[in-house]
Each structure stands twice: as C-alpha cells, then as structure tokens.
Structure 1
Amino acid sequence: MVVNGKCAKGSPPVPHDIDEAFLALPLRALADAALARARALGAEHADFRFERVRSASWRLRDARPAGSSDTTDLGYAVRVVHGGAWGFASGVDLTMDAAAKVASQAVAMAKLSARVIAAAGSDERVELADEPVHADRTWVSSYEVDPFDVPDADKAGLLAEWSARLLRADGVAHVDASLLTVHENKFYADTAGTVTTQQRVRLHPQLTAVAVDAASGEFESMRTLAPPAGRGWEYLTGTGWDWDAELEEIPALLAEKMRAPSVEAGRYDLVVDPSNLWLTIHESVGHATELDRALGYEAAYAGTSFATFDQLGTLRYGSSAMNVTGDRTAEHGLATIGYDDEGVEAQSWDLVKDGVLVGYQLDRRIARLTGLGRSNGCAFADSPSHVPVQRMANVSLLPEPGGLSTEDLIGGIERGVYVVGDRSWSIDMQRYNFQFTGQRFFRIENGRLAGQLRDVAYQATTTEFWGSLEKVGGPQTYVLGGAFNCGKAQPGQIAAVSHGCPSALFRGVNILNTAQEGGR
C-alpha cells in the first residue's frame, strides 16, 4: 500500500484579478462615509469591512443527488474604539447615509460598553498594537480555476462517477459524496489609511465508502484522505491530489478493515500519518496557543489553555524534534490571507521551537495588552455581520530537512501502530488530556506493516504526547491537512484552517481499545 497522502503535480496556479462584479460595488464610497462619521464622533480608531462570501455544496448518496445549496452573504461592518471600548455594527443598505448610520451605531455601542465596563469597576482600555499602513493593496489566493466557473452539472457528475466507481467494487454497500466550495471577497479600510481588497477560493471534496456484514449487521466505513484545500477546481482533476489512486485502493482497505482483529490495549510506538496528525496539532497546539485563551479572555467552544502566558519561553511543550509555526502565508492554506481583518499583513512565526513554547497567535489588542509588539495577523470574522475575533493561523509541525520517509520511520519500530486518517476525538477544556481515533490502523511488527487493527484510540496529555516525539519525517512526507469548520466565539463563528505536518514517530503511547472502553 501507499503510506502517505498521494499528491499529484500540476502546472503553476494562474494569477487572477479581483472579481469585477465585486469591485463595481461602492466599496470606497461606503468606507469613506462610515469612517468620516466615526472620526466626527470622536472614535480613536475605526475600520470598515465589506464582504461577499459565496458558499455552495453538493451531496450525493449512492451516486444519486441528496441535496445542494448555493448562498451568498453580502454586507459590511464598522468597528470602532471609542472611549477605550469596542463598538460594532453592521448593515446591508448600500447607501452612504446608511453606512454613516452604521458607524453611528458602532460608536453608540462603544459608549454603552464603556459605561458597563466602568460600572464593573474595570479600568482596562482597548488599545491596538501599531501596524504599518498598507495603502491600496490587493491579494488573491493561489488557484487555477474558480469552482464557481464550473457548471453545476459537471460537479455533480464527477461526484456521481466517483461514487459509482466505488459502488462497483465488491463489498461496498453505500457511498456518500460531498463537495463544499467557497469564493470570498473582502474589502477593508481604516482610519490609519490601510485599504486592502482580497479574494480567496477554497473547496473540500470528500467520499465515504461503507461496508455492511448482512449476517451480523456490523458495518465499517472508510473516508478519502484528501484534505480540504485553498485551491480551485483543478484539485479535483489531478492537481494536488491523485484521486484515481485513492479511489482504487479504498475498497480493498475497507474489506481488510472489516476482517481486522481488535487491538490489545497497552503501550505502543506510533507512526502517525499527516492525515491524522493534523487534527492532533489543531486541538492540542493550535487552540492552546491562541493567546486570548491562554489569558482567559476566551473559553467558548474549546475552553482556555494549559499553556498560560507566564510559561512563555519556559514551557517544555514537547521533545527537541518539535518545531511548530503559525503561518498566514502557506500556499493553498485555508487560513492563508494577505491581510487580516485588522489590516495586519500576513506573517509566519514560531510557536514552539526545539520543544519549548516561544510564541502565541495574536490580534492587535492582545499584542498591545501583553507587550508582545506587533500582531501576527490573527483577527478574522466569518461574515460581515460578525465582529472579528482572534482566530487560528495555519499551525504546522515542521519536517526535518533530509529526514526519513514514512517507510523508514515504520522500519525503526519493533511493535507499534501506524495511524492513518482522522475520525473522532476528545480533549479537555484546557487542551491537555485527549484521545484520538482514526480511519485506519496498521499493526507494525519488526519494522513492517502486518495488517489492519480495529477499535484503536491513542490517549495522552499534550506534553506527554509531544514529549514522546522521537523523529519527524522529511519534507517528502509533509502534507497540508485541515478543516472548514473550526468553531470559536459566542455567538459562534466558523473558520477554515490548515495544518501541515510530516509523518512522525512517537514512543510508548497509550493505546485504548474503544470497544472495551465502550463496554462492548
């Protein structure tokens, strides 16, 4: 079998211009009206954000249509700092008077917030870290073909053809297929003089094959490993992933999984494939290094963080093989941007260096509050009606230059498990105690794969797990995984984020038998 995500080479992305229909909207006129009103009302800072986000999805069950959607979210928002407090309002009326009124509402909200804060006895004021002015900048993500330029019939037809291919295989009883696509435009302007216009495209194709034992009623499923990506339609036609190879191997792997023995619980050495490890990075490193969580300012959805601010520069997060970056610039990354929703230019920076916590993810307020200098561009709102909050960058584990292949990592293990693909997970509210399952688990005996296992989960604390990291693979094992649906804040917001990583070797990790844990 092939032991890593299978990437296919393609031509370089075609440069695109910002969509003319978006540029034809009265972006600057609305921004000028809103910012002028905010200044006149005494705002210390004001920013204007206009967004058009088009999202579409297609779902098939056993090669037949099961549903589709196509929606567009369009509007604008004004955020201000007035009297040391935040104010925010949004609107959809594309007139100058309406934009000015929204700015007035934002200032009124800031005044109300200031009174509430004062009544609570707090003297903390909102102040923003400095950022250079970025005047009249444009940025477009890296893709070749906008999926919205492809006829819907072609999208549904490709999913149906792939589904039918799986259904023809022996042992495959059902196939679910889906495709999510997003085209996002964003215009930003603030009272400092920054003006940016951006365009991003991303998509997520996915197929799941199901096998059923008619006699016992038992079933198993196996999902494609292809991650969501900041790419265009070319991703489904051979650029960035070898779909033919993956679809060809799924039926045999699924049949083997149906026959696989249940794992014996205990301590094992693990080789974790990027298709699984990205999610462990997301939950145990990505959320834990959001500084608003570490400071206790945020707890919705994913809790706070064990990696508290007083441990910056001293916390032994993992072994010396662990080097993790936050990155808003990675090509095809789901969290890759040119400028964030506070006008901060995209950057890449260290979060964990040689196993030690050395950085956090920041927005402008948290950067100023903690004295850490410039924001690293982590403010994002998922719609024009939501206020920007601190959101995750592409948080990635770096490979070792000249490092081992996945096969060589496996070759160094006498008794272990090779973990492939993500599935369910659980982690506590401090991002510390966790367990993860996967799509496929293979027994390793004397450096070789020796068939699949079932009912496997690995369990550890964050520092124990990353402390057991002995080796990371080379760049040839590196894959950029991720998800469309990272949740945060209240009211809840959703953001897409990628996590790159190589294959990695962990020693002596606790393996649970999920069937036994569930009382079966």
Structure 2
Amino acid sequence: MPRTIDESFLALPLRQLADAALARARALGAEHADFRLERVRSANWLLRDARPAGAADRTETGFAVRVVHGGAWGFAAGVDMTMDAAARVASQAVEMAKLSARIIAAAGSDERVELAPEPSHGERTWVSPYEVNPFGVPEEERIGRLADWSARLLAGEGVSHVDARLWAVQENKFYADTAGTVTTQQRVRVLPELTATSIAPDGGRFDTMRTLAPPAARGWEYLTGTGWDWDGELDRIPGLLAGKMAAPSVEAGPYDLVIAPSNLWLTIHESIGHATELDRALGYEAAYAGTSFATFDRLGSLKYGSEVMNVTGDRTAEHGLATTGYDDDGVETQVWDLVRDGVLVGYQTDRRTAALKGFERSNGCAFADSPAHVPLQRMANVSLRPDPEGPGTDGLISRVERGIFIEGNGSWSIDMQRYNFQFTGQRFFRIENGELAGQLRDVAYQATTTDFWGAMEAVGGPGTYVLGGSFMCGKAQPGQTAAVSHGCPSALFRQINVLNTTQEAGR
C-alpha cells in the first residue's frame, strides 16, 4: 500500500497561507522568504512491571515565516490559520530583520546574510518508509504488546522489575519559498525500549539490562518483527543480566576493544557528528556544548583517524531518523563524505554556513523541531562505513588476545571541543585468546578523538552494520531537539585506556 500524507494535514489551508505570507514578504522587499507549517504529534506509553504507569499524547501545530531583508535574518511564528495572520507574521519577520540589521550595524559589523544557491524544486511530496502508522494502532494493542514483552522478562530468573516504553512521533511539514520550491512531507518514527532490573537477595546490589533495538524511522511493523529480532533479544536478557550481576569488576588499564554498533554509534555522534557541524567549527555555535577541534583551516589535512576510517553524512539513509526528502532551507537532501581514508574532507552545512565558506551548495542540514523555532544547522545521519570485504564480529574478536567486547550505550562525557571523552556501555565481555570469556562490570573507555579513531585497526563487513541513534540530540539556545541515526559496523581498536567506573567515582 503506498504511503500518503495524512489527509487531515492536507485539509489545512497550506498553500493559501504560504501565498499570503510570501506575497507580503516580497512586497516589503525581502530578498528571500520561506514559509513553513508544521504539525508534530508525539506520544509516550510507559509500563512498570507489565502494568500501565503513564501516557502522554501531544500535538503542536503552527507556522513560521523566515526572511532575509537588508542582509539580516528575520523570523516570526503564529498559530492562527488565516490569511491575514500569515501576512501579519510575515510583516513581523521583516520588522525583526530590520531590527537585526540595525543591531549588527551598531556593533560595527558589515556581515550580511548570504545563502548558497539552490535550484527551485517545484512541488514535491516525500513520506518516510514505514508500513503501519503507530497512531493508527488501537491503544489496547500498543499497551498489550509492551505488557506481553514485560511479562516475558519478568518470568526470567533473577529479574526483579521491568520498565517498558514506546515513543512514537508523526511529523508533518509543509514548506514554500520565494524561489518556487514547495514541499509536503511526513516522517514517522518509533522508539520501543525495555529495561530489566535485578536486585540481589540481600538488597545490597542491583543492575540493569536494556534492549539494544535502536529507534528507527519505521512504523508499528518494527514492533511485530520487521527490522529487529525481538523474540531473540527478550530471550537473552535474563541470562545476560544474571551474568552481569555475578561478573567481576574490570581491572583498569589498556585493552584492545571490539565495539559493537549498539555502543559505537554514540561515540560517532559525539566525537564526529557534532565535531563536523560547520557552525560549530566556525564558532557560531559555542554556547550549547561548545565548538569543535576540527576547525575549517584543517579541512583536507586533519588526520582524524586510521586509513580504515570512512565516514559519510547522509540525509537519505533508509529508516534513518534524520532522513527526509528536503530540509528546512528547501534543499534536496544528499549523501557526502566527511572523513575519507582517515582524513577530514567535509562538513555538515545549511545554506547560510555553506555560503560563508564558499561551498557551491548546502548539503541539506537545516531543521527546526517546532513551528515556533527557527531552523538550525542540524546533524545528518553520520555513519562509519563498513569494509565491503570485512570480517564478522567474531572475526574481529578472534584477532584479540586480551581485550573487551562492548555492546549497548551507557553514560558519556566529552569536552566542549569534542576532543577528550569517556564512554561506558551496557554489556562488557572479556576477550581471551580470541574468544569471549565471561562478563565484566564497571567499564569505561577514555581517549582523545584522534587517538581513538587512529587506533581503529579494522572495521567489520556489511553484515555487522547497524543503524543506531537517538530521538534527543540537543542544540541551540533556546534549546531544540532532533532525532538522528548513526550507522556503523563492529570495529577493532588497539590499546585503548579503560577505567573502572567505581574506582573513578570514589576518587
């Protein structure tokens, strides 16, 4: 069945509102104007020990007008779906641009907003790849699925409690600009997650084990077997949790690490994804979590990692959380290289940052998380590419005499330049003489970004590649959140410093 835009969204006066806003912006002398109307529905269902513990279902609808006038940005937003309101909001955006231009001039700056060129795409429609909209599934079926999974885990020996949640989002967006691009898009994404807790009989110790299934731009079919082996994962968790409870604490020191995609995606996000956002590299995004060590003067020369390191920015990846047809600058989305053979060769850009450094075109990274927020340069699906002829995860493990295999993401810490970091995980296994030899606890790995990626000796083959990610990447002030995926294979790193988290906490 072909995927279509929600009829209730199409029933809104999308084109009429856009025409009214853009006509007013043109009449007031805007050099560029765009109109964006969004409806974002976000819902959560929570269960505790197979019983409902909470639910929320929120929809935000509104529109925004953004202009370039007199070489400055102007932005305004509204919720009244009338032509007069759309024109009034456009006027407010122009007034905001005029005020911004005066402030810039008073500061002694002659900087003007320029946008990288982008052809008009005419009228386009794009819908993310899903089969069953989760919002069309009956409530009892959604809760029932989570309750059944929870009950299966609770029946496992040593499992004391189970928390389950499902987060679903449907994002509808209509965009039109003065260059003639008009896009109507719909994205659906889901995040199912279960966490089992074991408490020692004496009550003095506990630990948790979380499912590894990543969030995905899929529909309800993701929870019924498409894209993830839920039965296999739920069967494994009680035994893994029991092994984690009995595992010894790690001895700190240097280890070879084999890191699974379920953990490595977050390291990619923090040390590559944010570091290669051009606004950070140029110092334009400094207040929220810092800038970047990968400054523009190092483009083409920075040795980011070993020669097996190849990283792409991708706004088109199937089921990617940052995947869309067109961004909030009206740019058709693309795939491009960020790191090639270990060398920094690209950045993530929007039309403004691309023009600042003379790029011919943006690579489509503008996004706003709400109709009330201005578009920002946001992260693409930044992914480490597999070796087309690379080994499986077992093959990587077989190369290690003494090391640790890591699965699942945990806590993390990284400095403001995305350079010094520390990451934990969910599951840790000793590697002895090329084989797994039981679980460990309290593991964290620490390095600088270039040392870590420079120590990557091998990446796995396509069969080890998994698209991980997060619903909650934060940026900007006022803060915005965006969903983003990061694909990667399993990878082998030599002699990485491992810390014992309990010892570090006690210092």
Same fold (TM over 0.5): yes
**SS, match of residue 183 in structure 2:** strand
1:361 & 1:15 partners in 2: Cα distance? 32
Q: Per-residue displacement from partner, 1:379-411 (whole Å, max 9, x unpaired)?
A: 000000000000000000000002100000000
1:60 & 1:423 partners in 2: Cα distance? 21
| 1:74 corresponds to | 61
1:135 & 1:233 partners in 2: Cα distance? 32
Question: Once superposed, what is the RMSD of the aligned Cα atoms?
Answer: 0.7
2:175 matched to 1:192?
no
| 2:476 corresponds to | 489
Q: Per-residue displacement from partner, 1:283-334 (whole Å, max 9, x unpaired)?
A: 0000000000000000233210000000000000000000000000000000
2:161 matched to 1:174?
yes
2:344 matched to 1:357?
yes
| 1:52 corresponds to | 39
2:431 aligned to 419, 444, 458, which one?
444
2:291 matched to 1:296?
no
| 1:261 corresponds to | 248
Q: TM-score, normalised by structure 1?
A: 0.97
2:190 & 2:202 partners in 1: Cα distance? 39
Alignment of 1:370-385 (within 5 A): 370-385=357-372
2:228 matched to 1:245?
no
Amino acid at match of 1:172: V
Note the C-alpha offset of 1:15. Answer: 2.7
**SS, match of residue 422 in structure 1:** strand
**SS, match of residue 160 in structure 1:** helix
2:285 & 2:466 partners in 1: Cα distance? 30
Is contact 1:15–1:142 with CA below 8 Å preserved after alignment?
A: no
Q: Per-residue displacement from partner, 1:433-465 (whole Å, max 9, x unpaired)?
A: 000000000000000000000010000000000
Amino acid at match of 2:454: G
Is contact 1:166–1:251 with CA below 8 Å preserved after alignment?
A: yes
Alignment of 1:152-167 (within 5 A): 152-167=139-154
1:301 & 1:63 partners in 2: Cα distance? 38
Q: Per-residue displacement from partner, 1:449-508 (whole Å, max 9, x unpaired)?
A: 000000100000000000000000000000000000000000000000000000000001
2:499 matched to 1:512?
yes
| 1:472 corresponds to | 459
2:366 & 2:203 partners in 1: Cα distance? 51
Q: Per-residue displacement from partner, 1:16-73 (whole Å, max 9, x unpaired)?
A: 1111111111000000000000000000000000001111110011111111011111
| 2:406 corresponds to | 419
Q: Per-residue displacement from partner, 1:96-124 (whole Å, max 9, x unpaired)?
A: 00000000000000000000011111110
| 1:227 corresponds to | 214
| 1:28 corresponds to | 15
Amino acid at match of 1:170: E
2:427 & 2:93 partners in 1: Cα distance? 51
2:488 & 2:2 partners in 1: Cα distance? 27
Is contact 1:300–1:488 with CA below 8 Å preserved after alignment?
A: no
Q: TM-score, normalised by structure 2?
A: 0.99
1:318 & 1:208 partners in 2: Cα distance? 34
2:54 & 2:141 partners in 1: Cα distance? 15
| 1:217 corresponds to | 204
Amino acid at match of 2:45: W
2:292 aligned to 284, 305, 310, which one?
305
| 2:134 corresponds to | 147
2:501 & 2:105 partners in 1: Cα distance? 51
2:314 aligned to 320, 327, 332, which one?
327
| 1:284 corresponds to | 271
Amino acid at match of 1:441: F
| 2:334 corresponds to | 347
Q: Per-residue displacement from partner, 1:224-262 (whole Å, max 9, x unpaired)?
A: 000000000000000000101000000000000000001
2:196 & 2:318 partners in 1: Cα distance? 30
| 1:9 corresponds to | none
Is contact 1:405–1:474 with CA below 8 Å preserved after alignment?
A: yes
2:382 aligned to 372, 376, 395, which one?
395
Note the C-alpha offset of 1:214. Answer: 2.6
**SS, match of residue 471 in structure 2:** strand
1:216 & 1:497 partners in 2: Cα distance? 38
1:431 & 1:158 partners in 2: Cα distance? 40
2:289 & 2:264 partners in 1: Cα distance? 18
Amino acid at match of 1:437: T
Is contact 1:287–1:302 with CA below 8 Å preserved after alignment?
A: no
Amino acid at match of 2:53: A
Amino acid at match of 1:443: R
Is contact 1:60–1:159 with CA below 8 Å preserved after alignment?
A: yes
1:372 & 1:319 partners in 2: Cα distance? 27
**SS, match of residue 292 in structure 2:** coil
Structure 2 regions of 5+ residues with no counterpart?
none
**SS, match of residue 343 in structure 1:** coil
Amino acid at match of 1:511: V
2:102 matched to 1:115?
yes
Range with greater deviation from structure 2 (16-25 or 313-322):
16-25
2:393 matched to 1:406?
yes
1:475 & 1:502 partners in 2: Cα distance? 7
Note the C-alpha offset of 1:216. Answer: 4.7
Runs of 4+ deviating beyond 6 Å? none
Structure 1 regions of 5+ residues with no counterpart?
1-13
Q: Percent identity?
A: 78
| 2:83 corresponds to | 96
Note the C-alpha offset of 1:217. Answer: 1.6
Range with greater deviation from structure 2 (387-396 or 148-157):
148-157
Is contact 1:381–1:493 with CA below 8 Å preserved after alignment?
A: yes
Amino acid at match of 2:223: L
**SS, match of residue 356 in structure 2:** helix
